[in-house]
Amino acid sequence: MELAAKIICEFLLNSILLVFLWILSHKLKLLMMRYIAGILKMFSDHRQLFCKNVILIFAFFSFFTISDIQGQDFQHPDDEKINEFILRIQDLYGVDDELINGYPYYPPNKLIASHPYFDHQKWRTGTVYMNGETYQGIPLKYDLTKDAIIIKATLKKDVLKLVHLNSLYVDSVKFGPHLFVHSRNFAENGNERIFYEQVYLNNDPALGYFIHYSKQYLEQYTNIAPQGRFSDTKEKRFLLLNGKTYEVNSRRNILKAFPKNQRRSVRTFMRKNDIKYRRASNKQINQLMKFCYDQLID
């Protein structure tokens, strides 16, 4: 009798436990969805691109894993509950998902002297070209210390985010008279992930002129700059000629890049048009390249 009583007690306890687990698992989906949405909300101010993707994937697999545990007879949550979950996720993102495909950007310490940006530190309106798509009227900056295109993205509820665009997706960026193209478009080293200003380009025959700009953070501490300072802008100039790239930081270098029978005419053109190579403006360089192109096709 005692053995039978123990068996009956264990059976009842196990039955109660199973019922409890079934009730718990029946509501677990909704709890999980609310939990994941809460995580997304918490990380909305401090997330990188991969965080968003990882959390969404986790939510996806959590949803279907729970269904598998409960078996085929499980009744899925109401459509209203699923829609609530989706809307809470979508509420975090109010701009084009491809355009903000990048990383959070944190401006430098204001106590650092100077700034890390191209030309000046004010926001400018430009155009971003990504994966064959064109995005106009984008507030942006170009951080030369990181070689990063920074945009100001407006999320829903007028929340502003600074985003460092993923250079793998950016083809080029244009603001004012400046056009910056990704190095994969022409550089021999396909592993480079930097931007060059395209001053001139003609494809037949191939002739192009590009400038890479950079800055560095300098650990030079003074009373005026207690947190150091950013360096002046440095330039590296490149000539693309018939599929080869030449570094042309001096007048001598650029003359040497052309065939010997054309160097005299190029030198003469520079002298007549008062082109001082090291101090030449982009407009003057463009004028020089047009002349050189005419020499190549003659």
Widest CA span of the chain, in angstroms?
118
CA 209 – CA 198 distance, rounded (Å): 6
Please indicate, yes or no, whether residues 122 and 237 belong to a single structural domain of this protein: yes
Q: Of 85, 95, 70, which Cα lies nearest the Cα of 39?
A: 85
Q: Give pLDDT, residue 130.
A: 87
Length of the chain: 298
String of DSSP letters for 221-289: --SS-TT-EEPPPEEEEEEEETTEEEE--SHHHHHHHS-HHHHHHHHHHHHHTT--GGG--HHHHHHHH
Position 260 pLDDT exceeds 70: yes
Please indicate, yes or no, whether residues 56 and 108 belong to a single structural domain of this protein: no
The answer as to whether 71 is a domain residue is: yes
What's the domain range around 151? 102-249
Q: What number is the average pLDDT over the span 253-258? A: 94
Q: Give pLDDT, residue 256.
A: 94
The domain boundary residue, chosen from 43, 70, 90: 90
Between 14 and 119, whose confidence is greater?
119
CA 200 – CA 271 distance, rounded (Å): 20
Of the spans 9-18, 59-68, 127-136, 137-146, which averages the highest pLDDT? 137-146
Decide: 166 and 105 in contact? Cβ < 8 Å.
no
CA 22 – CA 75 distance, rounded (Å): 12
Residues of 269-279 as b/e, b for ≥16 C-beta within 10 angstroms? Answer: bbeeeebebee
The domain boundary residue, chosen from 55, 90, 125: 90
The number of folded domains in the chain is 2
| Residue 242 binned pLDDT confidence (cut-offs 50, 70, 90) | confident
HSE (CB half, 13 Å, CA atoms) of 200? Answer: 24
Please indicate, yes or no, whether residues 117 and 34 belong to a single structural domain of this protein: no
| Residue 81 binned pLDDT confidence (cut-offs 50, 70, 90) | very low
Predicted TM-score (pTM) of the model is: 0.66
CA 83 – CA 250 distance, rounded (Å): 63
HSE (CB half, 13 Å, CA atoms) of 203? Answer: 2
